[in-house]
């Protein structure tokens, strides 16, 4: 199986302070990979470098074989990024918003088809014709994920997709991400809630203070640590450092 993403010894500093300290990991094609760690660990910084939105400090990042710095256009053509704080135009209906965004990717029939695909993915049913400002947080998140996925990226990168959502909404969002991955897209998500993403991810990398502490399948990590969930694995690893 090919590699969707390869990071090698990636570093990034903000004004002399190192936020990402030489991290390496690989994501296989077709998997849901979780970058998990507490607030301030360096997750968003890492995702933004992967998505060509932030210059790589040092080291290399390749997306489907394309270097994010040297071949940024090729990378942008196969990737989609959903920032944690993403918003949609509140005055538009969900349908109008997806059509508007599809217009950036394609024209005519192709754009129509893309928007229709997004509408289906969102699962918003008749509420797709309500204004975004009337949506709940969960509905807004569904719309944004549909927006990020309707162009059929090869790699979807999503930052803290369930933060701020209640149990049911978070569950539904994870189901949505699961079905997106089954349709063939590779997914990289970040989360500060390790417990929550455990069931969704085929593999995870745990990040703390800009360094990868552990990585593997949730089952492997739990077994090696003799822990019952990933949060426990993380706490033990950090305490024994
Ligand atoms: N634009 C920035 N300027 C300066 N420091 C930043 C900036 N963005 C993030 N940081 C710092 O880098 C570290 C990692 O942040 P971030 O990547 O946002 O972590 P996470 O997403 O895991 O919460 C934190 O200490 C944060 O304060
Ligand atoms: Mg973040």
What is the value of pTM for the model shown? 0.95
Q: What confidence score (pLDDT) does residue 225 get? A: 93
Residue ranges of domains in the chain: 3-78+154-240, 87-152
Nearest to 60 by CA among 33, 24, 86, 34: 24
| 215 Cβ contact list (under 8 Å, min separation 6) | 25, 203, 204, 205, 206, 221
Q: Is the dihedral of CA 83, 157, 14, 163 positive or negative?
A: positive
The answer, yes or no, to whether residue 240 has pLDDT greater than 90, is no
For 188-238, the DSSP string reads EEEES-HHHHTTT-SEEEEEETTEEEEEE-HHHHHHHHT-SSHHHHHHHHH
The bound ligand whose nearest atom lies closest to the alpha carbon of 15 is 1
* pLDDT (tens digit per residue) in 67-91: 999 999 999 999 999 999 888 889 9
Q: What fold does the segment set 3-78+154-240 form as a domain?
A: Rossmann fold (3.40.50)
Protein residue with its CA nearest to atom 3 in ligand 1: 14
* pLDDT (tens digit per residue) in 92-145: 999 999 999 999 999 999 999 999 999 999 999 999 999 999 999 999 999 999
Pocket test for ligand 1, best of 18, 23, 42, 81 (most atoms within 8 A of CB): 42
Protein residue with its CA nearest to atom 14 in ligand 1: 42
Q: What confidence score (pLDDT) does residue 1 get? A: 67
- Taking the centre of ligand 2 as the mean of its atom positions, its distance from the CA of residue 112, in whole angstroms, is 33
- Taking the centre of ligand 2 as the mean of its atom positions, its distance from the CA of residue 111, in whole angstroms, is 31
Pocket test for ligand 1, best of 10, 11, 13, 14 (most atoms within 8 A of CB): 14
Q: Is the CB of 162 under 6 A from ligand 1?
A: no
């Amino acid at each position: 199986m090919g590699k969707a993403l390869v990071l090698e010894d990636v570093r990034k500093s903000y004004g002399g302070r190192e936020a990402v300290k030489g991290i390496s990991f690989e994501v296989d094609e077709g998997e849901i990979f979780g970058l998990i760690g507490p607030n301030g660990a360096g997750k968003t910084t890492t995702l933004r470098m992967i998505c060509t939105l932030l210059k790589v400090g040092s080291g290399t990042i390749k997306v489907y074989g394309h270097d994010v710095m040297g071949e940024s256009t090729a990378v942008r053509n196969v990737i989609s990024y959903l920032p944690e704080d993403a918003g949609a135009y509140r005055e538009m209906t969900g349908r109008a918003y997806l059509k508007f965004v599809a217009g950036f990717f394609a024209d005519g029939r192709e754009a129509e088809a893309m928007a229709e695909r997004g509408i289906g993915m969102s699962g918003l049913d008749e509420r797709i014709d309500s204004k975004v400002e009337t949506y709940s947080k969960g509905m807004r998140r569904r719309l944004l994920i549909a927006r990020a996925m309707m162009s059929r990226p090869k790699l979807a990168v999503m930052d803290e997709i369930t933060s701020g959502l209640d149990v049911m909404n978070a569950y539904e969002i994870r189901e949505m991400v699961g079905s997106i991955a089954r349709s063939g897209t590779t997914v990289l998500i970040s989360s500060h809630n390790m417990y929550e993403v455990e069931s969704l991810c085929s593999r995870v990398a745990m990040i703390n203070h800009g360094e990868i502490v552990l990585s593997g399948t949730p089952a492997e990590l739990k077994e090696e640590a003799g822990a019952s969930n990933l949060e426990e694995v993380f706490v033990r690893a950090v305490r024994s450092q």
